[in-house]
A = this chain, B = another copy of it.
């Protein structure tokens, strides 16, 4: 291990290739829950539960971004990163990504307060999302930034999601999908900033390997969220309240 870590750092293009290879292979668009969703094969309850459980992930995002802010000594970096918190919280009540997600929840027939309370989130989803916050809290700023690089892969998925939902779930209104429409340009800008930060600051092979490891852990978090949903709402059918017939 230490001999491998002593090798010279990869060039920028090589590192981008490594990040792209590991990220693409593990990104949650390959998960069978997403495949069922995009093939129009989720029931209404299964789709609702994805929205409800994923909201817990959404609520962790501004918290982990605030932790990333707190790890930086550089006002210029903080000025750049703080916009992520604004994107989720909005500038005023009724704005921002969290609000759009709650409207999505209402649009798929869920009770807004029930979703906002996060009280019905699956245990495994909570563990995975809390694990993301802990990863960001415990690791270096560089690794925390690298863990955000799943956004590199999200614009395609969200664009495909809008098309799939419009086609397969016509009972969901178009306005409901505003969150997925609003995200791709932000995700492209955010991931461009993050990849630039990683390429600049991962100056040794060891740091580069840690960045890739943080990204892989992040893909595990997103994957486990869907594993938990699959286990509860597809099969074997265990959810809040215990086993279902």
Contact = CB atoms under 8 A, between A and B. Distances in A.
A82 B66 CA distance: 9
Interface string A157-191: 00000000000000000000000000000000000
A78 B92 contact: no
Residue in A75, A88, A90 whose Cβ sees the most chain B Cβ within 10 Å: A75
Contact of A85 (B62, B82, B91): B82
A70 interface: yes
Given A82-B82, A82-B85, A85-B82, A90 B75 contact: yes
A91 B75 CA distance: 10
A72 B88 CA distance: 14
A59 interface: yes
Interface string A134-158: 0000000000000000000000000
Given A69-B69, A69-B85, A85-B69, A79 B92 contact: yes
A206 interface: no
Total copies of this chain within the assembly: 2
A88 B72 CA distance: 14
Interface string A74-112: 011011001001101111110010110000000000000
B92 A75 contact: no
Given A63-B70, A75-B96, A96-B75, A86 B90 contact: no
Nearest to A74: B89
Contacts of A78: 62, 66, 85, 89
A89 B79 CA distance: 7
A79 B90 contact: yes
Contacts of A62: 69, 75, 78
A92 B80 CA distance: 9
A73 interface: yes
Contacts of A99: 75
A141 to B, nearest CB: 11
A213 interface: no
12 contacts: A66-B67, A67-B67, A70-B70, A75-B88, A75-B89, A75-B90, A75-B99, A79-B93, A82-B82, A82-B85, A82-B86, A82-B89
